[in-house]
Amino acid sequence: MRNIILVGFMGAGKSVVGKLLAKKLNIDFVESDEMIETREKMPIKDIFEKKGEPYFRKVEKEIVKEASLRKNSVISAGGGAIIDEDNFKNLKSSGIIICLKTSPETILKRIKDLKTRPLLNVPDPKKQIEELLEKRKPYYNKADFSIETDELNSEQVVKKIMDLL
């Protein structure tokens, strides 16, 4: 089976949906952010703070390459991963890419602790979400399929993904 890759903005539900989907399909679940934290031995927010975003993106690129070599897995890619051309190519060659789409309002509601998301730890997170979403739209639109998740719970999103497979 080809991998199932979940992409989309922070708070779109990639982790929760990915774990549930992997459980139902009885396959592995991996998350690029978690792989990065394990390799760097520190939380994402500390990597941003101590080493900066370019360093984070460099590690993310290596991790995405590594994750793309897996088989039979659900892979959740960090919200900014797909922007990079190499990451997109690696993920695309490894499986089916599904984008979970969400409105800025839902993203804000879902992300309880903005401090864990360095890019949203700013004075006006809603504006930042809107701007980033707009910038990233063309990249998210490169996914094989998209699912609007605003009105759905995780079980319903998983059902939609399973219907696509």
The residues binding ligand S3P (CB under 6 A) are 10, 14, 33, 44, 78-80, 117-119
Whichever of 119 and 163 has its CB closer to ligand S3P, that residue is: 119
CB of 80 to ligand S3P, least distance (A): 2
Whichever of 15 and 72 has its CB closer to ligand S3P, that residue is: 15
Long-range contacts of 131-136 (CB under 8 A, 24+ apart): 132/9, 133/9, 133/104, 136/9, 136/79, 136/80, 136/83
Tokens for 133? 């979403």
CB of 56 to ligand S3P, least distance (A): 7
Asked if residue 139 lies in contact with residue 82, where contact means CB atoms within 8 angstroms, the answer is yes
Whichever of 14 and 101 has its CB closer to ligand S3P, that residue is: 14
CB of 138 to ligand S3P, least distance (A): 15
CA angle (152 as vertex; 147, 153 as ends), nearest 5: 120
CB of 53 to ligand S3P, least distance (A): 8
The closest of 39, 60, 56, 35 to 47, measured between CA atoms, is: 56
Asked if residue 100 lies in contact with residue 10, where contact means CB atoms within 8 angstroms, the answer is no
Whichever of 34 and 148 has its CB closer to ligand S3P, that residue is: 34
Tokens for 71? 């088989």
Strands (E), 48-151: 73-76, 95-101, 145-148
CB of 118 to ligand S3P, least distance (A): 6
